[in-house]
Amino acid sequence: MSVRLNRYAMRVAYDGTEYAGWQIQPNALAIQEVLESRLAKIFNAEIRIHGAGRTDAGVHARGQVCHFDAEAVRFPAGIRHAMNGMLPTAIRVLHAWKAAPRFHSRVSAVGKHYRYVLHTGAVVSPFQGRWVWHVPSLSDPEGMAQAAERLIGTHDFLSFSVNPKRVVESTVCTLHACAVSRSLRDPNRILIDLVGDRFLYKMVRSIVGTLVRVGQGRAQPDCVAAILAARNRSAAAQTAPPQGLCMWRVLYPPREPAAYAERLVHAAARD
């Protein structure tokens, strides 16, 4: 007789500074391991969670989504409350809900929104340093915006990916937004927002590295066309460091990436 399982989902935020990324690692502590260990106590059973995406070591999340199955029935609000009572302060369950049986945090997603934050001031406050890339030499943010706009659309992003010996079906992705804006709250903060149907390994950080190169006057905005055409990682600039990157939101139906991206461009600078 088969056991009926209940599917739950959670939206999780975390400061990834002290963790080895999302996915469980053999010799380092990852976000997935921390969450699973606490869920095991709540459900008195081994729990395996599945995330919408794998963030790397040092990368943060405001809207990571994950799901898991369990035999026991628990109220979602109780799961959130119990989890936050046991989790370290760097990890928080923002929302928990009973998901449909066929919901899958990764497969059901139709897009993702990542945000990368640069700080261009002479000095970075110790209250910001863990979440920004300090680039005081940035002189041409307008050129960055022009380069970013050239990346919008469907392209082969092989040059902007790092291959860790992973097999991928395709390196073609669609970016619905790649926007560079200066924060109205803090003019030293430059926000780079990317919304796409899918992202390759370290694709966002590779794009940011190239945009910063343009912003420093070491490349022209139209360089991105040649980089895309090269289909070679060596054609792009350095990979940006992890601490400026945050998985901002995972998109699910009925929310469509294109419509979400259009609204985002008008709202990002207010952050």
Calpha distance 31→220 (Å, rounded): 39
Q: Which of 56, 69, 140, 271 is catalytic?
A: 56
What is the per-residue DSSP string for 50-100?
EESS-PPTT-EEEEEEEEEEESS---HHHHHHHHHHHS-TTEEEEEEEEPP
What is the per-residue DSSP string for 171-235?
-EEEEEEEEEEE-SS-TTEEEEEEEES---TTHHHHHHHHHHHHHTTSS-TTHHHHHHHHT-GGG
Dihedrals phi, psi of 215, to nearest 5 degrees? -65, -25
56 is catalytic: yes
Q: Is 222 left (phi over 0), alpha (psi -120 to 50) or beta?
A: alpha
Active-site residue list: 56
